């Protein structure tokens, strides 16, 4: 079977080019430069890379971006003070607290402190609740990036069975909410699998679109995939590799070389979902700045059922 390798890097460049045009317009028409504050607590090497990629891409698209670094020993109170300061700082339209946080800090408490109108990571109760209600304000970057990847690759989830392996609030749950919406580019049948799912392979083999967001290297093997399925790999795992110069390399949650033989389309790692996550953070920040410039916060619309995304015919 001829398999399409979905080029996330290229599609992310397209999203960033669109964002750059929007930034130029905002600057010219409103005198507003969109700004992103990334809070990085501790020295987790993977988080360092994510935050560097996000701030670099912001700068590439013409945004203002700053990383606020705090040592791993910082108290929860100090992190909350930082978030509250950023909530008030007019230079920043988006705030992103990179996860995971050190164990002594409650992620839930810190996320709850982010002003919903600056929640470009879509992790506050307001963002998640509005998404669940079918009226999203900010969609978390990775699920938004996956939907964008599918649609820009000509893959419409409508009527398809999407099986998501993973139940995180950052990726799996919001992706399920996005894909079941009664809306164009959604309308999928969604199954969520997790560590307690019985006979996982019998479910993953039913997937027209299989999303792996497990966090385990090469956990999805060829026998778990239906012929012709679309496979989206969210995993970023560093494994040791004596043939690599650095002694390590990145692999996804999918056994790429074996699964590509069965899939009709598959995302590689690196170069698949990762660049899309970065691009969608940029895109969400530009959206936040546009709402700010136009005087709306995204929270001030009527909150009735009439406000829910209208169904498509
Ligand atoms: N850690 C891994 N992915 C993400 C993400 O998309 N956002 C945040 N805040 N932390 C992460």
- Residues annotated as catalytic are 54, 98, 121
**pLDDT tops 70 at residue 94:** yes
The closest residue, in CA terms, to atom 1 on ligand 1 is 99
Q: Fold match between 28-118 and 141-273?
A: yes
| pLDDT at residue number 1 | 66
Kindly give the number of the ligand 1 atom that is closest to the alpha carbon of 100: 1
Pocket probe for ligand 1: among 57, 86, 98, the residue whose CB has the most ligand atoms within 8 Å is 98
| pLDDT at residue number 311 | 41
Per-residue pLDDT tens over the stretch 267-279: 999 999 999 999 9
* pLDDT tier, 296 (very low <50, low <70, confident <90, very high otherwise): low
In percent, how much of the chain has pLDDT > 70? 94
pLDDT, average across residues 180-199 = 97
Distance, CA 273 to ligand 1 centroid (Å)? 13
**Strand extents, DSSP E, 19-121:** 35-41, 64-70, 94-97
Pocket probe for ligand 1: among 39, 49, 97, 99, the residue whose CB has the most ligand atoms within 8 Å is 99
**pLDDT tops 70 at residue 304:** no
Q: How far apart are CA 154 and CA 156, in angstroms?
A: 6
| pLDDT at residue number 295 | 80
Q: Name every protein residue with a CB atom under 6 angstroms from any ligand 1 atom.
A: 50, 96-99, 121, 141-142, 170, 277
- Based on its alpha-carbon atoms, the radius of gyration of the chain, rounded to whole angstroms, reads 19
Per-residue pLDDT tens over the stretch 70-85: 999 999 999 999 999 9
Distance, CA 94 to ligand 1 centroid (Å)? 14
Beta bridge partners of 65: 36
The closest residue, in CA terms, to atom 11 on ligand 1 is 99
115 touches 90 (CB < 8 A): no
The CATH topology of domain 141-273 is: Rossmann fold (3.40.50)
Distance, CA 99 to ligand 1 centroid (Å)? 5
Which pair of structure tokens corresponds to residue 159?
């009527």
Distance, CA 100 to ligand 1 centroid (Å)? 8
Residue ranges of domains in the chain: 28-118, 141-273
Pocket probe for ligand 1: among 50, 55, 279, the residue whose CB has the most ligand atoms within 8 Å is 50
**pLDDT tops 80 at residue 116:** yes
Q: Write down the CATH number for the domain with range 28-118.
A: 3.40.50.10860
* pLDDT top residue among 259 and 308: 259
Distance, CA 107 to ligand 1 centroid (Å)? 12
Kindly give the number of the ligand 1 atom that is closest to the alpha carbon of 141: 6
**pLDDT tops 50 at residue 191:** yes
| pLDDT at residue number 313 | 41
Average predicted confidence (pLDDT) for the chain: 94
291 touches 297 (CB < 8 A): yes
Kindly give the number of the ligand 1 atom that is closest to the alpha carbon of 123: 9
Do you find a cis peptide bond into 100, omega within 30 degrees of 0?
Answer: yes
pLDDT, average across residues 213-225 = 98
pLDDT, average across residues 252-279 = 98
pLDDT, average across residues 111-115 = 98
Per-residue pLDDT tens over the stretch 10-64: 999 999 999 999 999 999 999 999 999 999 999 999 999 999 999 999 999 999 9
Per-residue pLDDT tens over the stretch 127-147: 999 999 988 999 999 999 999
Q: How far apart are CA 18 and CA 73, in angstroms?
A: 39
**pLDDT tops 70 at residue 309:** no
**pLDDT tops 90 at residue 305:** no
């Amino acid at each position: 079977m001829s398999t399409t390798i979905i080029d996330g890097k290229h599609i992310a460049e397209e999203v960033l080019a669109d964002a750059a045009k929007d930034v130029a317009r905002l600057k010219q028409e409103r005198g507003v430069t969109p700004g992103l504050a990334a809070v990085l607590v501790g020295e987790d090497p993977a988080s360092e890379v994510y935050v560097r990629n996000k701030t670099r891409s912001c700068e590439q698209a013409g945004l203002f971006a700053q990383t606020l670094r705090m040592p791993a020993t910082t108290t929860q109170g100090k992190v909350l003070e930082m978030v509250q300061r950023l909530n008030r700082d007019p230079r920043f339209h988006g705030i992103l607290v990179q996860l995971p946080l050190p164990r002594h800090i409650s992620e839930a408490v810190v996320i709850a402190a982010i002003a919903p109108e600056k929640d470009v990571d879509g992790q506050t109760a307001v963002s998640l609740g509005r998404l669940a209600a079918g009226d999203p304000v900010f969609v978390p970057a990775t699920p938004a990036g996956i939907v964008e990847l599918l649609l820009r690759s000509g893959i419409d989830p409508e009527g398809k069975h999407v099986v998501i392996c993973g139940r995180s609030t950052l990726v799996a749950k919001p992706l399920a909410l996005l894909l079941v919406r009664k809306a164009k580019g959604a309308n999928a049948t969604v199954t969520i699998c997790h560590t307690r799912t019985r006979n996982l392979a019998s479910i993953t083999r039913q997937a027209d679109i299989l999303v792996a967001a497990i966090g385990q290297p090469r956990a999805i093997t060829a026998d778990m995939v239906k012929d012709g399925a679309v496979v989206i790999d969210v995993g970023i795992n560093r494994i040791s590799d004596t043939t690599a110069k650095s002694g390590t390399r990145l692999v996804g949650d999918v056994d790429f070389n074996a699964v590509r033989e069965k899939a009709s389309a598959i995302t590689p790692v690196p170069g698949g979902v990762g660049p899309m996550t970065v691009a969608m953070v940029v895109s969400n920040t530009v959206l936040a700045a546009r709402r700010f410039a136009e005087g709306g916060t995204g929270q001030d619309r009527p909150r009735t059922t009439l406000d829910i995304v209208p169904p498509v015919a």
